[in-house]
């Protein structure tokens, strides 16, 4: 298989939020995402949004009780549990940690050096989605 021509990333995590507008604002403030596009759904929600972070992109929309939405559960629906986690690679995990804490991120794992390299932390966003953020770069050459 080949990657589609002219794409910057070949995989884009996608999350659903009950209040997608609030999530977009928080992710930009707390984590440093940049809003690329937001398409309204005509019902007060978000049909599709694109947020960029470096050369990566997060897609998100408003959680809906439709056929596709019924295949997913929000963390609040399943006791705060998640079935996946988004990871961000940042140059300065200390500054990023301070920014996220200031924005009210719920810290799950404190900022610390990792035995596999880099430094990072884990947190939840306001709707309970898990995030791991740190300086470990999985694309870097192994030591």
Q: 76 phi and psi, to 5 degrees?
A: -65, -25
**pLDDT (tens digit per residue) in 76-117:** 999 999 888 999 999 999 999 999 999 999 999 999 999 888
Cα separations in angstroms, 36 against 29, 33, 46, 91: 14, 9, 13, 21
Q: Can you point out the beta strands (E) in 1-143?
A: 14-17, 34-40, 46-53, 56-62, 86-89, 106-113, 119-124, 130-134
The encoded tokens of residue 89 equal: 């690679």
On whether the 14-62+80-134 domain is CATH 3.90.650.10, my answer is no
When pLDDT is cut at 50, 70 and 90, the band that residue 7 belongs to is: low
Q: Indicate the average pLDDT of the chain.
A: 91
Q: What's the CA gap between 143 and 19, in Å, rounded? A: 42
């Amino acid at each position: 298989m080949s990657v589609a021509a002219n794409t910057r990333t070949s995989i884009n995590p996608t999350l659903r939020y009950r209040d997608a507008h609030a999530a977009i604002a928080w992710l930009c403030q707390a984590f440093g995402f940049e809003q690329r596009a937001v398409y309204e759904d005509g019902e007060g929600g978000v049909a599709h949004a694109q947020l960029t972070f470096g050369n990566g992109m997060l897609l998100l929309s408003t959680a809906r009780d439709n056929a596709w939405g019924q295949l997913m559960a929000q963390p609040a629906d399943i006791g705060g549990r998640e079935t996946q986690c988004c990871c961000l690679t940042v140059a300065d995990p200390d500054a990023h940690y301070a920014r996220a804490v200031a924005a009210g991120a719920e810290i799950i794992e404190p900022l610390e050096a990792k035995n596999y390299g880099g430094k990072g932390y884990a947190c939840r966003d306001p709707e309970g989605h898990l995030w791991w953020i740190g300086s470990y770069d999985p694309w870097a050459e192994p030591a």
